[in-house]
């Protein structure tokens, strides 16, 4: 984490308490809208790592299909390690950027095997979170979001993967500064969101971003978070003003 980001996380106690209370309120409202999420391990660390790599720069639907094809084509990850890059790429073609992702997957598997003589990453469960982050970030193509996914979905650590939905909704709600990138937003949200809420808050933010708080046409009038969102209130005011002006013409 850069010194600039560390500096931005030095909140006053009063500001931290205000934001923490706001996030708890938002989490309750999101839970009513999208349901309670029970924090559970979704898969082993290596599977989550590779699945997240496949999710980069593509839709969830395409990445899920690509991962499913990869699992069905090869018996295990060691077979993927031994396979030619072209065969891997052909298998994950519909996920987009197949040649790039296939090479990254192949290289990661080869490197892990050369270092550990197997592909079992269960040892990560015993490590401190910062050590896990440092170990994973050595691999080409593995960035902050991918690491956070492994931490959250496989190791049950309080990490906050920030995709386009989480970043957009967080900015509109005033949880992170408007100029924040995903890395800074991740650091801020991990500091502010209570550990016991982070899994549910992450998933429900994504659902809200997909269904209501869309990039181009957000449905602010029907948003469960409207009373807590200055962006939404301003958006609704603009819509009403536009309608009044249209009637007067």
Query: At 83, which CATH number?
Result: 1.10.340.30
Q: In this structure, is residue 206 part of a structural domain?
A: no
Number of domains in the chain: 1
Q: What count of Cα atoms within 13 Å lies in the side-chain half-sphere of residue 113?
A: 12
Question: What average pLDDT does the segment 51-56 reach?
Answer: 95
Residue 57 lies in a domain: yes
Instruction: List active site positions.
Output: 145
C-alpha 195: how far from its chain's center?
16
- Closest by CA position to 224, among listed 16, 35, 14: 35
User: Which helix (H) or strand (E) element contains residue 77?
Assistant: helix 77-82
Consecutive H or E run containing 130:
helix 129-136
Answer yes or no: is 86 within a domain: yes
Q: Quick one: pLDDT at residue 246?
A: 59
In a domain, 202, yes or no: no
pLDDT at residue 238, as a whole number: 85
- Asked, for residue 193, whether it belongs to a domain, the answer is no
Percentage of residues in the chain having pLDDT higher than 70: 92
Domain assignment present for residue 243? The answer is no
In a domain? residue 146: yes
- Please indicate, yes or no, if residue 76 is contained in any of the structural domains: yes
- Give the tens place of pLDDT for each residue, 96-121: 999 999 999 999 999 999 999 999 99
Instruction: Please report, in angstroms and rounded to a whole number, the separation of the first and last CA atoms in the chain.
Output: 54
Cβ pair 109, 77 in contact under 8 A: yes
């Amino acid at each position: 984490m850069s010194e600039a980001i560390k500096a931005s996380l030095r909140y006053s106690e009063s500001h931290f308490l205000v934001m923490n209370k706001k996030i708890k309120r938002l989490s309750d409202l999101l839970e009513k809208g999208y349901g309670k999420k029970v924090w559970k391990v979704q898969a082993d660390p290596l599977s989550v790592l590779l699945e997240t790599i496949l999710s980069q720069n593509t839709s969830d639907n395409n990445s899920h299909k690509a991962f499913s094809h990869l699992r069905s084509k090869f018996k295990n990850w060691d077979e993927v390690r031994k396979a030619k890059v072209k065969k891997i790429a052909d298998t994950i073609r519909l996920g987009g950027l197949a040649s790039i992702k296939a090479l990254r997957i192949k290289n990661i598997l080869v490197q892990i095997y050369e270092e550990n003589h197997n592909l079992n990453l269960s040892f990560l469960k015993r490590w401190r979170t910062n050590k896990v982050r440092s170990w994973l970030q050595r691999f080409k193509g593995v960035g902050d979001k991918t690491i956070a996914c492994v931490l959250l979905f496989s190791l049950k650590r309080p990490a906050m993967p920030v995709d386009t939905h989480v970043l957009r909704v967080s900015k509109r709600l005033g949880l992170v500064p408007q100029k924040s990138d995903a890395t800074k937003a991740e650091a801020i949200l991990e500091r502010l969101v209570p550990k016991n809420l982070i899994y549910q808050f992450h998933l429900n933010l994504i659902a809200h971003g997909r269904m209501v708080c869309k990039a181009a046409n957000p449905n602010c009038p029907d948003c469960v978070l409207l009373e807590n969102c200055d962006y939404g209130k301003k958006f609704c005011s603009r819509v009403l003003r536009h309608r009044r002006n249209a009637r007067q013409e």
